[in-house]
Amino acid sequence: MTMRKHSCGACTFRARYDRNPKSILGRLWRWHIRFCPGWKSYLKSLPDPEQAQLREQYGLPVAADVSPR
């Protein structure tokens, strides 16, 4: 199985949110990233400083430690 590259960095809905967070498509994107597995894996694939910058920019919570106990 081939792994797809994430296109989240160039997402047109994300660009709409960046231009106007109150637009319909911008709000749809913001709602969507709460559960999107692609966004979550994209965020995890970024270096820590970029993750922190995006979390702050979009008001996302810091990922909790989910290591097995």
pLDDT in tens, 8-62: 988 999 999 999 999 999 999 999 999 999 999 999 999 999 999 999 999 998 8
As a whole number of angstroms, the distance between CA 33 and CA 40 comes to: 8
Range of the domain at 28: 10-57
As a whole number of angstroms, the distance between CA 64 and CA 60 comes to: 12
Residue 7: what pLDDT?
86
As a whole number of angstroms, the distance between CA 39 and CA 53 comes to: 15
* pTM of this prediction exceeds 0.95: no
Residue 67: what pLDDT?
40
Residue 68 has pLDDT above 70, yes or no: no
Residue 63 counted as domain residue: no
As a whole number of angstroms, the distance between CA 16 and CA 44 comes to: 23
Residue 33 counted as domain residue: yes
Residue 45 counted as domain residue: yes
As a whole number of angstroms, the distance between CA 48 and CA 17 comes to: 23
Residue 31 counted as domain residue: yes
Residue 44 counted as domain residue: yes
Residue 24 counted as domain residue: yes
Residue 49: what pLDDT?
95
Residue 17 counted as domain residue: yes
Number of domains in the chain: 1
Half-sphere exposure of residue 15: CA atoms within 13 angstroms, side-chain side:
5
